[in-house]
Structure 1
């Protein structure tokens, strides 16, 4: 409820990730800490309910905070099992990750493709999407029933991984905006741009009437007409809302 309308969405997301087995180089002077999974979310207030996370088929509890990403973004994270060898850094688990969550937002959704291979699909009933960011979808389908778009991105095509590991303040993202092509504000803006035309034509009509009929019009009448036109365009937006 309210005067100002904003497009909102509820994103029902399913995430699947697989990590290749990787052994860190053993260094006697370095001890690896507790491994964890982290996901950055610009505004965690949009999370609906509790996300469901499974790692290698085992359900894990999620905690607030973005873990290693805390300096960059808000978010959530989950602790993995300790390393089998704190020096060599061999992971016990975390090779397969499945997660389901619901995220509410307004106007736009942006995703940073930080994996080596990213397969992303979005489907919605909104009929007027606007695709932006650094990457456009592959042959999106847009129709009266909504849109269906997919991205297939390699780490070779994006610098998101490097940006994530550096101190860069922004990441390469793909983006979808929910656009209302002709809303009340667009109509009011268009009408206001033509306002001067209506004002000029009205006064031209008054002058022609005065010249043709040879009936003098009092300046006060011109003033009242001008004020009426000005007030109309001033009230146009508030009345339309």
Structure 2
């Protein structure tokens, strides 16, 4: 009696998978979807590390001094305002105390920032100390614009104000001069408006003459330095030793010079350019909203670049799997789905390696090392799959080209869409050209 051998269901399934192109493609697609899970975990890891960096920056800034915004000098003069009220048929006259504020006609600021990097663990934080020189010219006060009379003003209770974001940033006693006479400055803090800074008590003359102000400050801060344009004409010359400043605020400098070691910039803002005037009753508007200046950032944020790189992970996995699949078709070497999965996990693990190295070495060198290590690992694994150096070298070259392509996209942010679109078009055209003679049904 002759017995026939019936293959098991598992064996039949394996034969079907190895011979059916359609099923193999479906399985590869399923593997790509599964790899999205660890890839999303990688993005979460980058965000977590970026949060830790921000916490380190906040801790260092809190101890050194936070970002500084300077608003001033401006003049405040108290006055009595008479009000009449009718009570029980009788007229009562009361006096209410208020303050009128006046901005300078001209404000010239010269500032030089000495930036440095402080370290908190593996993280770097940019801080600065600066020498500021301020010159302001106040014209006779335009009381008529506020419907005020000279006899209403309490000239002996006037004060000059310099608002500053963080008083801890004042390094030494300010040097304040008014018409050549040295005056003492005192700190002030307004709990109602949450504003703080320096005030200089004045003894003004009822003749309402103008005066010239000059002051020198040593200020510390971190990351940003901004100035509010309180002068009817505000000019600032700002320089420093940082090679990559980012100009911020409502106004860009009219001229700038940048080199590998320092920067120099100049602003000029007219009262036509800002949304407030020169005289105010009871308080002044939020002039900080019109501030301008710069932020001192590190030349490259490795976490931002790592996030952008990891967003192309799916593209790298799909293109790598497509290359493997075409090589499988042409070489007749069958690659098991588990081997595709291992290759996919190594492509995902690349991003964890990139993050860890970039924290220590910077993004460009980390990208080179992580890419070289991953391409080398997969080239060695491909050698065991295909068996010959020519196919292995081709696969390694394709991977190297992919990683070079992604690096160019990440670095050329302005042209990322253009470069990416052209690159993908070339990849698709190449795939169509290579696979044009494949008999997919026969395969």
Same fold (TM over 0.5): yes
TM superposition shift of 1:181: 4.8
Deviates more, 1:125-134 or 1:12-21: 125-134
Can you give the 5+ residue segments of structure 2 that lack an aligned partner in the other structure? 1-118, 144-148, 360-443
SS at match of 2:173: strand
Find the aligned partners of 2:284 and 2:197 in 1 and give their Cα distance: 19
Tell whether 2:15 aligns with 1:15: no
State the structure with bigger RCO (CA 8 A, min sep 6), 1 or 2.
Answer: 1
Task: Note the alpha carbon deviations across 1:120-157, whole angstroms, 9 max, x for none.
Answer: 11112323333332222223223334222212233233
1:118–1:154 CA contact under 8 A, matched in 2: yes
Tell whether 2:154 aligns with 1:44: no
TM superposition shift of 1:167: 4.6
Find the aligned partners of 1:123 and 1:60 in 2 and give their Cα distance: 28
Partner of 1:148: 264
> What is the RMSD computed on CA atoms of the aligned residues?
3.2
Tell whether 2:241 aligns with 1:125: yes
- Closer, same or farther: CA 4–145 of 1 in aligned 2, 3 Å: closer
2:249–2:292 CA contact under 8 A, matched in 1: yes
Find the aligned partners of 1:125 and 1:174 in 2 and give their Cα distance: 19
Partner of 1:215: 333
1:114–1:160 CA contact under 8 A, matched in 2: no
TM-score normalised to the size of structure 1?
0.78
Find the aligned partners of 2:276 and 2:354 in 1 and give their Cα distance: 45
Find the aligned partners of 1:13 and 1:198 in 2 and give their Cα distance: 51
SS at match of 1:144: coil
1:63–1:78 CA contact under 8 A, matched in 2: yes
Tell whether 2:179 aligns with 1:56: yes
Partner of 2:291: 173
Task: Note the alpha carbon deviations across 1:28-78, whole angstroms, 9 max, x for none.
Answer: 6x65672111111122222223322223333332222256x9726321212
Find the aligned partners of 1:144 and 1:169 in 2 and give their Cα distance: 34
- Closer, same or farther: CA 163–207 of 1 in aligned 2, 3 Å: farther
- Closer, same or farther: CA 181–199 of 1 in aligned 2, 3 Å: same
Deviates more, 1:216-225 or 1:104-113: 216-225
TM superposition shift of 1:176: 1.8
- Closer, same or farther: CA 191–217 of 1 in aligned 2, 3 Å: same
Task: Note the alpha carbon deviations across 1:72-94, whole angstroms, 9 max, x for none.
Answer: 6321212223x45xxxx5569x8
SS at match of 1:140: strand
Find the aligned partners of 1:221 and 1:239 in 2 and give their Cα distance: 27
Partner of 1:78: 200
Picking from 190, 194, 202, the partner of 2:312 is: 194
Picking from 139, 150, 155, the partner of 1:26 is: 150
1:9–1:104 CA contact under 8 A, matched in 2: yes
2:255–2:267 CA contact under 8 A, matched in 1: no
Find the aligned partners of 2:131 and 2:212 in 1 and give their Cα distance: 20
2:246–2:297 CA contact under 8 A, matched in 1: yes
Tell whether 2:356 aligns with 1:238: yes
- Closer, same or farther: CA 140–3 of 1 in aligned 2, 3 Å: same
Deviates more, 1:163-172 or 1:98-107: 163-172
Which structure has more helix as a fraction of its residues?
2
Can you give the 5+ residue segments of structure 1 that lack an aligned partner in the other structure? none
